[in-house]
Amino acid sequence: MSKRASKRPPGSRFDAGLAVRRSVLGRRYVDESMRTADDFTRPLQELVTEYCWGAVWTRPGLPRKTRSLLNLAMLTALNRPHEVRLHVRGALRNGCSRDEIMETLLQAAIYCGVPAAIDSFRIAREVLAEPQP
State the pLDDT at residue 115: 87
pLDDT at 94: 98
Per-domain residue ranges for the chain? 8-56, 64-129
pLDDT at 26: 95
d(CA 71, CA 124): 13
More confident residue, 66 or 10: 66
- The answer, yes or no, to whether residue 5 has pLDDT greater than 60, is no
> Measuring CA to CA, which residue among 127, 114, 108 is closest to residue 25?
127
Report the pLDDT value the prediction gives residue 11, as an integer from 0 to 100.
78
pLDDT band at 6 (very low <50, low <70, confident <90, very high): low
- Tens of pLDDT along 60-116? 999 999 999 999 999 999 999 999 999 999 999 999 999 999 999 999 999 988 888
**pLDDT-wise least confident of 3-17, 51-65, 82-96:** 3-17
The top-level CATH class assigned to 64-129 is: mainly alpha
